[in-house]
Amino acid sequence: MIKVLVSDALSQEGLKVFNDSKELTVDVKTDLKPEALKEIIKDYDALVVRSATKVTKEIIQAAMKLKVIGRAGVGLDNVDLEAATAKGIIVMNTPAGNTISTAEHTFSMILTLSRNIAQANASMKKGEWKRSKFMGVELYNKVLGIVGFGRIGSEVAKRALSFGMKVLAYDPFLSAKVAESIGVEIAELKKVLQEADYITVHTPLTDETRHMISDKEFGLMKKNVRIVNCARGGIIDELALVRAVKDGKVAGAAMDVFENEPLAADSELLKLDNVVTTPHLGASTEEAQINVAIEVAEIVRDALLGKGIRNAANYPCLDAEACNILNPYINLGEKLGMFAAQLVEGRFLELVISYSGQITKYNLSPVTMALVKGILTPILQDTVNFVNGISLLKERGIKLLESKSGQEGEFVNLIQLEIKTDKETKSILGTLSGNKQPRIVKIDDYYLDLYPVGEMIFIRNLDKPGLIGNLGTLMAKNKINIAAMALGRNKPGDKAISVWSVDNQVSPEIQDKIRELENILTVKIIRT
Protein backbone atom coordinates (compact mmCIF):
# COMPACT_ATOMS: atom_id res chain seq x y z
CA MET A 1 0.00 0.00 0.00
CA ILE A 2 1.23 3.49 -0.89
CA LYS A 3 1.44 5.68 2.22
CA VAL A 4 0.79 9.43 2.35
CA LEU A 5 1.59 11.65 5.32
CA VAL A 6 -0.34 14.90 5.76
CA SER A 7 1.61 16.96 8.29
CA ASP A 8 -0.39 20.22 8.16
CA ALA A 9 -4.11 20.84 8.40
CA LEU A 10 -5.91 19.94 5.17
CA SER A 11 -9.62 20.30 4.49
CA GLN A 12 -11.83 17.22 4.51
CA GLU A 13 -12.46 17.66 0.80
CA GLY A 14 -8.75 17.14 0.15
CA LEU A 15 -8.46 14.14 2.48
CA LYS A 16 -11.45 12.57 0.73
CA VAL A 17 -9.48 12.47 -2.53
CA PHE A 18 -6.89 10.27 -0.82
CA ASN A 19 -9.41 8.17 1.07
CA ASP A 20 -11.39 7.46 -2.08
CA SER A 21 -8.33 5.85 -3.68
CA LYS A 22 -8.02 2.15 -2.87
CA GLU A 23 -4.27 2.17 -3.61
CA LEU A 24 -3.46 4.84 -1.02
CA THR A 25 -3.53 5.07 2.75
CA VAL A 26 -3.29 8.48 4.41
CA ASP A 27 -2.13 9.45 7.90
CA VAL A 28 -2.82 12.93 9.29
CA LYS A 29 -0.22 13.94 11.88
CA THR A 30 -0.07 17.68 12.40
CA ASP A 31 2.12 19.85 14.66
CA LEU A 32 5.03 17.43 14.43
CA LYS A 33 8.37 18.59 15.78
CA PRO A 34 11.21 18.36 13.24
CA GLU A 35 12.79 15.39 15.00
CA ALA A 36 9.48 13.54 15.10
CA LEU A 37 8.91 14.13 11.38
CA LYS A 38 12.46 13.06 10.62
CA GLU A 39 11.86 9.83 12.53
CA ILE A 40 8.65 8.77 10.77
CA ILE A 41 9.18 10.13 7.24
CA LYS A 42 11.13 7.00 6.25
CA ASP A 43 7.86 5.04 6.07
CA TYR A 44 6.04 7.31 3.61
CA ASP A 45 5.86 7.59 -0.18
CA ALA A 46 4.42 11.13 -0.17
CA LEU A 47 4.34 14.13 2.14
CA VAL A 48 1.65 16.82 1.97
CA VAL A 49 2.29 20.14 3.72
CA ARG A 50 1.03 23.69 3.89
CA SER A 51 3.36 26.39 5.21
CA ALA A 52 3.87 25.25 8.81
CA THR A 53 5.95 22.13 8.15
CA LYS A 54 9.55 22.89 7.21
CA VAL A 55 10.78 20.20 4.85
CA THR A 56 14.50 20.63 5.42
CA LYS A 57 17.45 18.87 3.86
CA GLU A 58 17.78 16.72 6.98
CA ILE A 59 14.19 15.53 6.73
CA ILE A 60 14.57 14.82 3.01
CA GLN A 61 17.75 12.83 3.60
CA ALA A 62 15.93 10.75 6.22
CA ALA A 63 13.17 9.88 3.73
CA MET A 64 13.87 6.41 2.38
CA LYS A 65 10.76 5.92 0.21
CA LEU A 66 9.63 9.48 -0.46
CA LYS A 67 8.71 10.13 -4.09
CA VAL A 68 6.49 13.22 -3.89
CA ILE A 69 6.17 16.34 -1.74
CA GLY A 70 2.94 18.25 -2.24
CA ARG A 71 2.55 21.82 -1.03
CA ALA A 72 -1.02 23.06 -0.58
CA GLY A 73 -0.23 26.60 -1.67
CA VAL A 74 1.95 28.48 -4.12
CA GLY A 75 5.23 29.23 -2.35
CA LEU A 76 7.88 26.61 -1.68
CA ASP A 77 9.92 28.60 0.83
CA ASN A 78 9.43 25.82 3.39
CA VAL A 79 10.71 23.03 1.12
CA ASP A 80 14.39 22.49 0.33
CA LEU A 81 13.89 22.16 -3.42
CA GLU A 82 17.55 21.56 -4.16
CA ALA A 83 17.79 18.69 -1.68
CA ALA A 84 14.59 17.13 -2.98
CA THR A 85 15.78 17.39 -6.59
CA ALA A 86 19.13 15.83 -5.74
CA LYS A 87 17.31 12.86 -4.21
CA GLY A 88 14.89 12.53 -7.10
CA ILE A 89 11.80 13.64 -5.18
CA ILE A 90 9.14 15.47 -7.17
CA VAL A 91 8.00 18.68 -5.46
CA MET A 92 4.59 20.01 -6.50
CA ASN A 93 2.51 23.00 -5.46
CA THR A 94 -0.93 24.41 -6.22
CA PRO A 95 -0.44 27.68 -8.10
CA ALA A 96 -4.03 28.04 -9.28
CA GLY A 97 -5.96 27.25 -6.12
CA ASN A 98 -5.62 30.63 -4.43
CA THR A 99 -5.32 32.84 -7.51
CA ILE A 100 -8.67 34.56 -7.11
CA SER A 101 -8.44 34.93 -3.34
CA THR A 102 -4.99 36.57 -3.55
CA ALA A 103 -6.04 38.83 -6.42
CA GLU A 104 -9.12 39.93 -4.49
CA HIS A 105 -7.07 40.56 -1.34
CA THR A 106 -4.62 42.62 -3.38
CA PHE A 107 -7.40 44.76 -4.76
CA SER A 108 -8.92 45.08 -1.31
CA MET A 109 -5.58 46.49 -0.20
CA ILE A 110 -5.56 48.94 -3.10
CA LEU A 111 -9.03 50.17 -2.18
CA THR A 112 -8.11 50.36 1.50
CA LEU A 113 -5.10 52.56 0.69
CA SER A 114 -7.18 54.77 -1.58
CA ARG A 115 -9.95 55.48 0.91
CA ASN A 116 -8.13 55.05 4.25
CA ILE A 117 -10.63 52.41 5.27
CA ALA A 118 -8.53 50.71 7.94
CA GLN A 119 -7.53 54.01 9.57
CA ALA A 120 -11.06 55.40 9.47
CA ASN A 121 -12.43 52.23 11.05
CA ALA A 122 -9.86 52.41 13.86
CA SER A 123 -10.79 56.05 14.46
CA MET A 124 -14.49 55.21 14.60
CA LYS A 125 -13.80 52.46 17.15
CA LYS A 126 -12.32 55.16 19.37
CA GLY A 127 -15.57 57.14 19.17
CA GLU A 128 -14.11 59.73 16.77
CA TRP A 129 -15.75 61.37 13.74
CA LYS A 130 -12.95 62.90 11.66
CA ARG A 131 -14.13 63.01 8.09
CA SER A 132 -11.55 65.53 6.93
CA LYS A 133 -8.66 63.43 8.25
CA PHE A 134 -9.41 60.56 5.89
CA MET A 135 -9.71 62.27 2.53
CA GLY A 136 -9.14 59.64 -0.16
CA VAL A 137 -8.27 59.42 -3.83
CA GLU A 138 -10.08 57.80 -6.76
CA LEU A 139 -8.74 54.87 -8.75
CA TYR A 140 -10.28 56.12 -11.99
CA ASN A 141 -7.60 57.24 -14.48
CA LYS A 142 -4.80 56.26 -12.11
CA VAL A 143 -1.89 54.09 -13.27
CA LEU A 144 -1.43 50.69 -11.66
CA GLY A 145 2.02 49.16 -12.08
CA ILE A 146 2.06 45.37 -11.80
CA VAL A 147 5.47 43.77 -11.28
CA GLY A 148 5.13 40.11 -12.25
CA PHE A 149 2.28 39.24 -14.57
CA GLY A 150 1.38 35.63 -13.90
CA ARG A 151 -2.00 34.24 -12.89
CA ILE A 152 -2.49 36.58 -9.94
CA GLY A 153 -1.06 39.66 -11.64
CA SER A 154 -3.38 39.20 -14.61
CA GLU A 155 -6.42 38.80 -12.34
CA VAL A 156 -5.48 42.00 -10.52
CA ALA A 157 -5.21 43.73 -13.89
CA LYS A 158 -8.72 42.68 -14.87
CA ARG A 159 -10.12 44.23 -11.69
CA ALA A 160 -8.09 47.40 -12.16
CA LEU A 161 -9.32 47.81 -15.73
CA SER A 162 -12.92 47.54 -14.54
CA PHE A 163 -12.23 50.54 -12.28
CA GLY A 164 -11.01 52.58 -15.23
CA MET A 165 -7.32 52.33 -14.30
CA LYS A 166 -4.46 52.21 -16.78
CA VAL A 167 -2.25 49.17 -16.23
CA LEU A 168 1.49 48.96 -16.85
CA ALA A 169 2.90 45.44 -16.53
CA TYR A 170 6.51 44.40 -16.09
CA ASP A 171 7.42 40.77 -16.64
CA PRO A 172 10.47 39.64 -18.65
CA PHE A 173 8.52 36.62 -19.92
CA LEU A 174 5.40 38.49 -20.94
CA SER A 175 4.94 39.06 -24.66
CA ALA A 176 3.49 42.30 -25.97
CA LYS A 177 0.84 40.28 -27.80
CA VAL A 178 -0.44 38.69 -24.61
CA ALA A 179 -0.41 42.02 -22.78
CA GLU A 180 -2.35 43.73 -25.54
CA SER A 181 -4.97 40.97 -25.57
CA ILE A 182 -5.69 41.69 -21.91
CA GLY A 183 -5.69 45.45 -22.35
CA VAL A 184 -2.52 46.32 -20.48
CA GLU A 185 0.71 47.92 -21.61
CA ILE A 186 3.94 46.00 -21.29
CA ALA A 187 6.79 48.14 -19.94
CA GLU A 188 10.28 47.95 -18.54
CA LEU A 189 10.58 48.04 -14.76
CA LYS A 190 12.00 51.56 -14.78
CA LYS A 191 8.97 52.91 -16.62
CA VAL A 192 6.58 51.14 -14.25
CA LEU A 193 8.35 52.63 -11.25
CA GLN A 194 8.42 56.13 -12.73
CA GLU A 195 4.83 56.34 -13.98
CA ALA A 196 2.68 54.24 -11.65
CA ASP A 197 0.43 55.75 -8.98
CA TYR A 198 0.07 52.30 -7.40
CA ILE A 199 2.60 49.48 -7.53
CA THR A 200 1.80 45.87 -6.65
CA VAL A 201 4.29 43.00 -6.83
CA HIS A 202 3.44 39.44 -7.87
CA THR A 203 6.74 37.66 -8.46
CA PRO A 204 8.25 34.64 -6.71
CA LEU A 205 10.98 35.34 -4.18
CA THR A 206 14.32 34.43 -5.75
CA ASP A 207 17.87 35.69 -5.51
CA GLU A 208 17.02 38.02 -8.40
CA THR A 209 13.78 39.37 -6.90
CA ARG A 210 14.87 39.74 -3.29
CA HIS A 211 14.78 43.48 -2.46
CA MET A 212 14.04 44.30 -6.09
CA ILE A 213 12.14 47.29 -4.68
CA SER A 214 14.61 49.15 -2.46
CA ASP A 215 16.02 52.67 -1.97
CA LYS A 216 17.07 53.11 -5.60
CA GLU A 217 13.68 52.02 -6.90
CA PHE A 218 11.77 54.21 -4.43
CA GLY A 219 13.90 57.09 -5.68
CA LEU A 220 12.50 56.58 -9.19
CA MET A 221 8.87 56.62 -8.11
CA LYS A 222 6.31 59.41 -8.14
CA LYS A 223 5.69 61.31 -4.96
CA ASN A 224 2.63 59.89 -3.13
CA VAL A 225 2.91 56.49 -4.79
CA ARG A 226 1.10 53.63 -3.01
CA ILE A 227 2.73 50.21 -2.59
CA VAL A 228 1.12 46.76 -2.18
CA ASN A 229 2.76 43.39 -1.49
CA CYS A 230 0.59 40.28 -1.27
CA ALA A 231 3.17 38.05 -2.95
CA ARG A 232 6.26 37.21 -0.89
CA GLY A 233 8.02 38.96 1.95
CA GLY A 234 11.45 40.17 0.90
CA ILE A 235 10.58 41.35 -2.59
CA ILE A 236 10.19 44.81 -1.07
CA ASP A 237 13.00 45.96 1.20
CA GLU A 238 11.04 46.74 4.37
CA LEU A 239 13.60 49.11 5.85
CA ALA A 240 13.74 51.04 2.58
CA LEU A 241 9.94 51.15 2.54
CA VAL A 242 9.87 52.59 6.05
CA ARG A 243 12.32 55.29 4.98
CA ALA A 244 10.27 56.11 1.88
CA VAL A 245 7.07 56.40 3.93
CA LYS A 246 8.70 58.61 6.54
CA ASP A 247 10.23 60.82 3.83
CA GLY A 248 6.80 61.34 2.27
CA LYS A 249 7.69 59.66 -1.02
CA VAL A 250 5.23 56.82 -0.37
CA ALA A 251 1.73 57.95 0.57
CA GLY A 252 0.71 54.54 1.81
CA ALA A 253 1.63 50.88 1.79
CA ALA A 254 -0.36 47.69 2.29
CA MET A 255 1.59 44.59 3.30
CA ASP A 256 0.27 41.07 3.65
CA VAL A 257 3.65 39.32 3.62
CA PHE A 258 6.89 40.09 5.41
CA GLU A 259 10.56 39.23 5.42
CA ASN A 260 10.15 37.52 8.78
CA GLU A 261 6.82 36.03 9.77
CA PRO A 262 5.11 36.49 12.09
CA LEU A 263 5.91 40.20 11.97
CA ALA A 264 7.73 41.32 15.11
CA ALA A 265 5.62 43.37 17.51
CA ASP A 266 8.20 46.18 17.45
CA SER A 267 8.36 46.39 13.65
CA GLU A 268 8.57 49.93 12.30
CA LEU A 269 5.84 49.05 9.83
CA LEU A 270 3.33 48.78 12.68
CA LYS A 271 4.20 52.27 13.91
CA LEU A 272 3.24 54.03 10.67
CA ASP A 273 -0.40 55.11 10.39
CA ASN A 274 -0.40 55.01 6.60
CA VAL A 275 0.88 51.42 6.42
CA VAL A 276 -1.83 48.73 6.46
CA THR A 277 -0.76 45.24 7.53
CA THR A 278 -2.54 41.88 7.43
CA PRO A 279 -1.18 38.52 8.68
CA HIS A 280 -0.59 36.71 5.36
CA LEU A 281 -4.26 36.43 4.42
CA GLY A 282 -3.92 36.24 0.64
CA ALA A 283 -5.07 32.62 0.46
CA SER A 284 -7.31 32.77 3.50
CA THR A 285 -10.74 32.24 2.05
CA GLU A 286 -12.91 29.19 2.53
CA GLU A 287 -13.01 28.61 -1.21
CA ALA A 288 -9.24 28.85 -1.61
CA GLN A 289 -8.57 26.44 1.24
CA ILE A 290 -10.85 23.84 -0.29
CA ASN A 291 -9.48 24.42 -3.79
CA VAL A 292 -5.83 23.98 -2.82
CA ALA A 293 -6.60 20.94 -0.65
CA ILE A 294 -8.39 19.16 -3.49
CA GLU A 295 -5.75 20.21 -6.02
CA VAL A 296 -2.77 19.06 -3.95
CA ALA A 297 -4.45 15.76 -3.16
CA GLU A 298 -5.23 15.12 -6.82
CA ILE A 299 -1.74 15.92 -8.14
CA VAL A 300 -0.03 13.86 -5.41
CA ARG A 301 -2.40 10.94 -5.99
CA ASP A 302 -1.88 11.03 -9.75
CA ALA A 303 1.90 11.23 -9.44
CA LEU A 304 1.99 8.25 -7.07
CA LEU A 305 -0.25 6.18 -9.32
CA GLY A 306 1.66 7.00 -12.51
CA LYS A 307 -1.09 9.14 -14.01
CA GLY A 308 1.11 12.12 -14.86
CA ILE A 309 3.06 14.93 -13.25
CA ARG A 310 1.46 18.36 -12.85
CA ASN A 311 2.41 21.58 -11.06
CA ALA A 312 5.89 20.32 -10.22
CA ALA A 313 8.62 22.79 -9.34
CA ASN A 314 11.35 20.42 -10.44
CA TYR A 315 9.54 18.61 -13.26
CA PRO A 316 7.90 20.19 -16.32
CA CYS A 317 4.15 20.73 -16.10
CA LEU A 318 2.02 19.11 -18.79
CA ASP A 319 -1.65 19.46 -19.43
CA ALA A 320 -3.68 16.42 -20.47
CA GLU A 321 -3.52 17.19 -24.19
CA ALA A 322 0.25 17.67 -24.15
CA CYS A 323 0.70 14.48 -22.12
CA ASN A 324 -1.12 12.41 -24.71
CA ILE A 325 1.00 13.83 -27.51
CA LEU A 326 4.39 13.88 -25.78
CA ASN A 327 4.36 10.61 -23.80
CA PRO A 328 5.55 8.55 -26.81
CA TYR A 329 8.35 11.08 -27.38
CA ILE A 330 9.30 10.91 -23.71
CA ASN A 331 9.65 7.15 -24.13
CA LEU A 332 11.63 7.68 -27.34
CA GLY A 333 13.89 10.20 -25.63
CA GLU A 334 14.73 7.84 -22.79
CA LYS A 335 15.46 4.92 -25.15
CA LEU A 336 17.51 7.15 -27.44
CA GLY A 337 19.57 8.41 -24.52
CA MET A 338 20.24 4.95 -23.10
CA PHE A 339 21.22 3.58 -26.50
CA ALA A 340 23.57 6.47 -27.27
CA ALA A 341 25.27 6.44 -23.88
CA GLN A 342 26.28 2.80 -24.33
CA LEU A 343 27.42 3.33 -27.88
CA VAL A 344 29.89 6.21 -27.49
CA GLU A 345 33.47 6.04 -26.29
CA GLY A 346 35.12 8.52 -23.96
CA ARG A 347 34.26 11.06 -21.29
CA PHE A 348 31.11 13.07 -21.93
CA LEU A 349 31.69 16.75 -22.61
CA GLU A 350 28.56 18.06 -24.33
CA LEU A 351 25.06 16.98 -25.32
CA VAL A 352 23.31 18.72 -28.20
CA ILE A 353 19.61 17.96 -28.60
CA SER A 354 17.83 19.16 -31.73
CA TYR A 355 14.08 18.89 -32.26
CA SER A 356 12.35 19.37 -35.60
CA GLY A 357 8.83 19.10 -36.94
CA GLN A 358 5.38 19.56 -35.50
CA ILE A 359 6.36 18.60 -31.94
CA THR A 360 8.34 21.83 -31.58
CA LYS A 361 5.13 23.75 -30.85
CA TYR A 362 4.95 21.94 -27.51
CA ASN A 363 7.01 22.35 -24.35
CA LEU A 364 9.66 19.69 -24.90
CA SER A 365 11.28 19.96 -21.47
CA PRO A 366 10.02 16.52 -20.38
CA VAL A 367 11.51 14.95 -23.51
CA THR A 368 14.85 16.56 -22.73
CA MET A 369 14.64 15.30 -19.17
CA ALA A 370 13.92 11.80 -20.47
CA LEU A 371 16.90 11.99 -22.83
CA VAL A 372 19.19 13.05 -20.01
CA LYS A 373 17.85 10.34 -17.72
CA GLY A 374 18.44 7.79 -20.43
CA ILE A 375 21.99 9.00 -21.01
CA LEU A 376 22.92 8.86 -17.34
CA THR A 377 21.10 5.65 -16.42
CA PRO A 378 23.76 3.24 -17.71
CA ILE A 379 26.28 5.02 -15.51
CA LEU A 380 24.29 6.05 -12.44
CA GLN A 381 21.53 3.42 -12.51
CA ASP A 382 18.80 3.99 -9.89
CA THR A 383 20.34 7.20 -8.57
CA VAL A 384 19.18 9.10 -11.65
CA ASN A 385 15.59 9.81 -12.62
CA PHE A 386 13.52 12.25 -14.66
CA VAL A 387 13.70 14.84 -11.88
CA ASN A 388 17.38 14.99 -11.01
CA GLY A 389 18.97 14.11 -14.35
CA ILE A 390 19.70 17.62 -15.57
CA SER A 391 20.93 18.62 -12.12
CA LEU A 392 23.33 15.66 -12.10
CA LEU A 393 24.46 16.56 -15.61
CA LYS A 394 25.38 20.07 -14.49
CA GLU A 395 27.16 18.73 -11.44
CA ARG A 396 29.32 16.72 -13.76
CA GLY A 397 30.18 19.68 -15.92
CA ILE A 398 28.50 18.27 -19.02
CA LYS A 399 27.08 20.99 -21.27
CA LEU A 400 23.51 20.68 -22.47
CA LEU A 401 22.40 22.56 -25.59
CA GLU A 402 18.96 22.47 -27.18
CA SER A 403 17.50 23.78 -30.42
CA LYS A 404 14.18 23.61 -32.27
CA SER A 405 13.14 23.90 -35.89
CA GLY A 406 9.51 23.87 -36.91
CA GLN A 407 10.42 22.80 -40.42
CA GLU A 408 9.92 19.18 -41.37
CA GLY A 409 12.89 17.31 -42.82
CA GLU A 410 13.09 13.67 -43.83
CA PHE A 411 10.65 12.82 -41.04
CA VAL A 412 7.54 14.59 -39.76
CA ASN A 413 9.03 14.75 -36.26
CA LEU A 414 12.64 14.09 -35.37
CA ILE A 415 14.92 14.11 -32.34
CA GLN A 416 18.64 14.33 -32.99
CA LEU A 417 21.06 13.67 -30.17
CA GLU A 418 24.71 14.56 -30.63
CA ILE A 419 27.14 13.46 -27.93
CA LYS A 420 30.59 14.96 -27.80
CA THR A 421 33.24 13.18 -25.75
CA ASP A 422 36.98 13.58 -25.43
CA LYS A 423 37.33 10.82 -28.02
CA GLU A 424 34.54 11.22 -30.56
CA THR A 425 31.33 12.92 -31.60
CA LYS A 426 28.36 10.68 -32.32
CA SER A 427 24.99 11.56 -33.78
CA ILE A 428 21.81 9.48 -33.35
CA LEU A 429 18.41 10.35 -34.80
CA GLY A 430 15.08 9.04 -33.54
CA THR A 431 11.42 9.30 -34.43
CA LEU A 432 8.16 7.42 -33.92
CA SER A 433 6.71 4.70 -36.12
CA GLY A 434 3.10 4.81 -37.29
CA ASN A 435 1.97 3.06 -34.09
CA LYS A 436 3.98 5.56 -31.97
CA GLN A 437 6.78 3.14 -31.11
CA PRO A 438 10.36 4.48 -30.75
CA ARG A 439 12.62 4.14 -33.76
CA ILE A 440 16.28 4.96 -34.31
CA VAL A 441 16.57 5.93 -37.98
CA LYS A 442 20.15 7.12 -38.31
CA ILE A 443 23.46 6.59 -36.52
CA ASP A 444 26.17 8.93 -37.75
CA ASP A 445 25.99 8.58 -41.55
CA TYR A 446 24.17 5.25 -41.56
CA TYR A 447 20.41 5.02 -42.12
CA LEU A 448 18.57 2.10 -40.54
CA ASP A 449 15.26 1.22 -38.89
CA LEU A 450 15.81 0.05 -35.32
CA TYR A 451 13.37 -0.61 -32.48
CA PRO A 452 15.69 0.22 -29.53
CA VAL A 453 14.24 -2.01 -26.82
CA GLY A 454 15.79 -4.89 -24.89
CA GLU A 455 19.12 -6.64 -25.52
CA MET A 456 20.95 -5.56 -28.67
CA ILE A 457 24.25 -6.42 -30.33
CA PHE A 458 25.75 -3.43 -32.13
CA ILE A 459 28.28 -4.42 -34.76
CA ARG A 460 30.57 -2.46 -37.05
CA ASN A 461 31.60 -4.62 -39.94
CA LEU A 462 32.83 -4.73 -43.51
CA ASP A 463 29.97 -5.08 -45.97
CA LYS A 464 30.90 -8.53 -47.23
CA PRO A 465 28.83 -11.66 -47.89
CA GLY A 466 28.43 -14.18 -45.08
CA LEU A 467 28.01 -11.91 -42.04
CA ILE A 468 24.33 -12.63 -41.50
CA GLY A 469 24.76 -16.39 -41.99
CA ASN A 470 27.81 -16.65 -39.75
CA LEU A 471 26.23 -14.62 -36.92
CA GLY A 472 22.92 -16.50 -37.22
CA THR A 473 24.70 -19.83 -36.95
CA LEU A 474 26.64 -18.68 -33.89
CA MET A 475 23.48 -17.45 -32.17
CA ALA A 476 21.67 -20.72 -32.92
CA LYS A 477 24.52 -22.81 -31.49
CA ASN A 478 24.31 -20.82 -28.24
CA LYS A 479 20.48 -20.94 -28.16
CA ILE A 480 20.11 -17.17 -28.52
CA ASN A 481 17.00 -16.23 -30.48
CA ILE A 482 17.26 -13.28 -32.88
CA ALA A 483 14.16 -11.08 -32.59
CA ALA A 484 15.00 -8.44 -35.19
CA MET A 485 17.81 -7.08 -37.29
CA ALA A 486 18.61 -3.57 -38.61
CA LEU A 487 21.26 -2.93 -41.22
CA GLY A 488 22.88 0.30 -42.36
CA ARG A 489 25.48 1.03 -45.02
CA ASN A 490 26.56 3.88 -47.29
CA LYS A 491 27.80 1.94 -50.32
CA PRO A 492 28.31 -1.72 -51.17
CA GLY A 493 31.52 -3.31 -49.95
CA ASP A 494 32.39 -0.45 -47.59
CA LYS A 495 32.01 -0.29 -43.81
CA ALA A 496 28.54 -0.95 -42.42
CA ILE A 497 26.68 -1.28 -39.16
CA SER A 498 24.13 -3.79 -37.93
CA VAL A 499 22.06 -4.04 -34.78
CA TRP A 500 20.69 -7.41 -33.70
CA SER A 501 17.87 -7.54 -31.15
CA VAL A 502 17.96 -10.80 -29.20
CA ASP A 503 15.75 -12.48 -26.62
CA ASN A 504 18.57 -13.63 -24.33
CA GLN A 505 21.50 -11.97 -22.63
CA VAL A 506 24.75 -12.22 -24.56
CA SER A 507 27.58 -13.35 -22.29
CA PRO A 508 31.13 -11.95 -22.54
CA GLU A 509 32.24 -15.30 -23.91
CA ILE A 510 29.76 -15.16 -26.79
CA GLN A 511 30.74 -11.53 -27.43
CA ASP A 512 34.33 -12.69 -27.90
CA LYS A 513 33.17 -15.36 -30.37
CA ILE A 514 31.32 -12.69 -32.36
CA ARG A 515 34.47 -10.58 -32.56
CA GLU A 516 36.33 -13.57 -34.01
CA LEU A 517 33.93 -13.82 -36.95
CA GLU A 518 35.17 -12.73 -40.38
CA ASN A 519 34.69 -9.06 -41.32
CA ILE A 520 33.66 -7.99 -37.77
CA LEU A 521 35.34 -4.73 -36.69
CA THR A 522 33.77 -3.90 -33.31
CA VAL A 523 31.06 -5.36 -31.06
CA LYS A 524 29.06 -3.70 -28.30
CA ILE A 525 26.18 -4.96 -26.18
CA ILE A 526 23.46 -2.39 -25.57
CA ARG A 527 20.59 -2.83 -23.12
CA THR A 528 17.62 -0.48 -22.80
pLDDT by 10s per residue, the chain, length 528: 899 999 999 999 999 999 999 999 999 999 999 999 999 999 999 999 998 999 999 999 999 999 999 999 877 889 998 899 888 899 998 877 888 999 999 999 999 999 999 999 999 999 999 999 999 999 999 999 999 988 899 999 999 999 999 999 998 767 677 788 889 998 999 999 999 999 999 988 877 789 999 999 999 999 999 999 999 999 999 999 999 999 999 999 999 999 999 999 999 999 999 999 999 999 899 999 999 999 999 999 999 998 888 888 877 655 556 767 888 999 899 999 999 999 998 878 899 999 999 889 888 988 999 999 899 888 776 567 677 788 888 877 889 999 998 777 778 899 999 999 888 999 999 999 988 999 999 999 999 999 999 999 999 999 999 989 999 999 999 999 999 999 999 888 899 999 999 999 999 899 999 999 999 999 999 998
Q: What residue type is assigned to position 14 of the chain?
A: G
Residues 430 and 385 in one domain: yes
Kindly list the distances between the CA atom of residue 347 and the CA atoms of 331, 342, 416, in Å, as whole numbers in the listed order: 25, 12, 20
Contacts of 350 (CB under 8 A, 6+ apart): 398, 399, 400, 401, 419, 420
pTM of whole model > 0.75? no
Annotated catalytic residue 280? yes
How many domains would you assign to the chain? 4
> What's phi and psi for 171, nearest 5 deg?
-165, 120
Q: What residue type is assigned to position 430 of the chain?
A: G
Residues 138 and 271 in one domain: yes
User: Which helix or strand (DSSP H or E) is residue 239 part of?
Assistant: helix 238-246
Residues 136 and 247 in one domain: yes
User: 151-162 and 99-115 helices cross at what angle (nearest 10)?
Assistant: 40
Domain of residue 18 covers 2-96+288-304
Residue 442 lies in a domain: no
Residues 136 and 258 in one domain: yes
Annotated catalytic residue 232? yes
Residues 196 and 70 in one domain: no
Please report the pLDDT score of residue 381 as a whole number: 66
Contacts of 435 (CB under 8 A, 6+ apart): none
Kindly list the distances between the CA atom of residue 105 and the CA atoms of 100, 112, 158, 231, 277, in Å, as whole numbers in the listed order: 8, 10, 14, 11, 12
- Out of 188, 261, 287, 345, the active site residue is 261
Going across the sheet that includes 68-71, the strands are 24-28, 2-6, 46-49, 68-71, 90-92
- Out of 71, 202, 226, 280, the active site residue is 280
Residues 424 and 467 in one domain: no
Residue 516 lies in a domain: yes
Residues 469 and 523 in one domain: yes
Number of H helices, E strands in the chain: 17, 22
CATH number (domain holding residue 396)? 3.30.1330.90
CA 61/CA 63 separation, integer angstroms: 5
Residues 250 and 371 in one domain: no
> What's phi and psi for 469, nearest 5 deg?
-65, -45
- The burial class, CB within 10 Å (0-12 / 13-18 / 19+), for 227 is buried
486-523 residue pLDDT tens:
999 988 889 999 999 999 999 989 999 999 999 999 99
